[in-house]
Amino acid sequence: MSTTIEKIERQINENPILLYMKGSPKLPSCGFSAQAVQALAACGERFAYVDILQNPEIRAELPKYANWPTFPQLWVEGELVGGCDIIIQMYQAGELQTLIKEAAAKHKPEESDAE
């Protein structure tokens, strides 16, 4: 059986754009998660999420693993970007859009020419 930390690492490694949040993008359970989802959604790329309210072990372990005490947490390509305030600041500066689009482009399935 894998540990919670291994599960977190697997989630982060398998999802180039990953938001740990309270609730889901359609039904956020806190204002900060809702703001983070709005900013991410506005970037126009798909992203994965983990509802920490449904995963209490992740809710308990992730702040220690990430050295970041609060949720939501945005991870892009294995790196912790930050929480709600940072996400919003980056979005307003136009930095989040670039980061998200670049990460998404790297991980899109390659289109091949059918000849």
Residue list for the binding site for glutathione: 22, 59, 71, 84-85
Q: Residue ranges for the binding site?
A: 22, 30, 59, 71, 84-85
Least Cα distance to 108 among 44, 58, 36 occurs for 44
- Element spanning 89, H or E: helix 84-93
Phi/psi of residue 108, nearest 5 degrees: -70, 145
SS3 content of the chain, % helix, strand, coil (to 5): 50, 15, 35
Q: Residue ranges for the binding site for [2Fe-2S] cluster?
A: 30
